[in-house]
Structure formats: C-alpha cells, structure tokens
Amino acid sequence: MTLLNLAKYLSGKTALDNYVQYIKQNDASFQIYYWGVMPRHYNNQLHKHSFFEVCYVVEGEGTYIDDNCTYTLQENTLFLSRPEVLHQIKSEKGLSLLYVAFQLVESESSENWIKIMETAKQCTEILLHNKSEIETALLWKALLIQATKHKNAFSEEMLSNIAYSLIVSILQDFVTDDLNKSNIKHLPRQYSVLLTQAKLYINDNLSNSLKLTEVAKYLHISSRHLSRIFASELGVSFSKYVQDERIKKATILLKKSDLTLKEISERTGFMNVQYFTRVFTSMMQLSPGRFRSHFMDKNTITSSDR
C-alpha cells in the first residue's frame, strides 16, 4: 500500500468502524474504539488515552514522542501507544498511517489475557521497523481489502476473524520478549498454513490409511518436513495426532449414530473391529460397546429427571 492508493481504503475504514466494534474469540473479548486510515497525517497535540492505540506507517517520515522519549518514524514502522502515557506524532511532509484503538474487556476475558495486557502496558520496546512482510502488516492489508468489498452474508464474520488475528499479531510483536522473561503463558498460537491444511486433509479422510508419506505428498513437502511441523507446532507426532482424531470421531459416532462397531471402525480408518476395540479401550479406559451403553444410560437418566 503506497501513499497514492491508501485513499481507496477509506471506505474500508468506515466499514470497520460500523461492523468491527467488538471482538470475542477464545478466552478474550476486545472493545475496538476506532479504526484509522490516514493518507496524510502531520502533527497532533501531546495527549494520552485510557486504551491502546497502534499505528503503522505505510509511507513517509516523522517523529514519535512517547513518555519524553523521541523515536524516528519511517516507512514500515509499527508503534504502540500505551494507556495513560503521553505521546505525540510529528511530521513535516505528512505520514501515510493505519491505526486501531482497542482495549481488553476484562470481565469477559480469562485471567491469562488480563496478565498479557498488563504486560503490554509495561513493555519496553514500543516501536518496530521493517514490518512490511510480516504477519501484522499483511493481516492489516487483508483486513482493509476485505472491508472495501461489497457486503455479503459472510462479511462481518470474516472481518471479525481477521481483526482478531490482527490484534493478536500486534500483541505478539510487542510483548513476546517480555512474556518469555515472565511466568505468563504465551499468547494463543497461530498455526502455520501447512499444519492447517494437513489437519483438514486428515479430518476429511479418516477412513483412509493416512500414511505420513501420502499426506506429505498431497501437501507437496517431504515427510520429514511434515513430521517436524507436527512436532514443533502441536508437540505430538503425526501418527499420534491421526490416532487421536480417529478416536475422537469414533466417540462422536458411538454417541450420535446407530452404526455397528464394524461400520464405525471402517469410517475411522481402523483395519478391523478387533484393532479398533483395542486402541479405543486403551485410550478411553472403556470398550466401544461399554462407552456407548454408558453414554446412553447417562442420557436416559438425565431425561427422566427433567
């Protein structure tokens, strides 16, 4: 996005202000106070907010004053204004800026998220350069492109999902180092596209053999690469993930269908009923038959008590 074409995203800013004022996903809720698309921003007064504001310099040069410290602004700079901290933007020739103001809704968020935001308030690195090709800049661009499209049945949900990913990415940019030095859990992991594709393929083809080599070939990567992705991103082996997904689907079929154990074993990719029974019993501490009976008995008792 350059200074010349940023103006075309002004309609996207309006759409975001209208449709993305509140985001709730996982254990976090965010109030979004405003979105900004500014083709030319010059100077503003020294001021402070009660919330977070993050700006991204698309083009131009200037300075940013934060808590009596002066920083240089240039193309592809991301900077964070923290709550209750005096700050000011200055530019003689004008900056092309994107910005967003937000705050965590603590009453609707987990204790871990509250700690994360407290850490963000105390972060020491508030300005980052050369962010043009990393997740935050790309997500911001994707959000604006989506926001400028004609509204359809999925628009608001897509905008909300991308906006949530953008906020999480911003927080990862600024607080990751501080979180690594503390006892606070990391931000929710954003998994790679390859892992997402692998998981989708596995879940859609559980009745097949699903060998590591076959899934790797489908993704056009080596078996070793795929194995590393599961180990590094999920902390489990490929085979363990597949087996867990087979058992997960089997429990659903046992609860919600009248399929025989043979039919369930076939749909979940086990070689035969005996092997299915052995693996299921080992993982669930109940045989498939007893699991189904226990679930049905529990539902019958619950229904009779109503």
Contact 122, 174 (CB under 8 A): no
Residue 137 pLDDT: 87
Tokens 């669930």, residue located:
284
Q: Are 81 and 51 in contact (CB under 8 A)?
A: no
Cα–Cα distance measured from residue 249 to residue 241, given in angstroms and rounded to the nearest whole number: 12
Architecture of domain 6-180: Sandwich (2.60)
Give the Cα separation of 9 and 147 in Å (integer): 8
Domain ranges across the chain: 6-180, 193-304
**Residue-wise pLDDT tens digits, 213-251:** 999 999 999 999 999 999 988 888 999 999 999 999 999
pLDDT means per 10 residues, the chain with 306 residues, are: 63 89 90 93 93 94 94 94 96 94 94 92 88 78 86 78 92 72 52 85 92 93 92 90 93 92 94 93 91 71 36
Task: Tell me the per-residue pLDDT of 118-165, one tens digit each, with 9 for 90 and over.
Answer: 999 998 889 998 765 677 888 998 999 889 886 766 778 889 999 999
Q: Tell me the pLDDT of the chain averaged across its residues.
A: 86
The CATH T-level fold of domain 193-304 is Arc Repressor Mutant, subunit A (1.10.10)
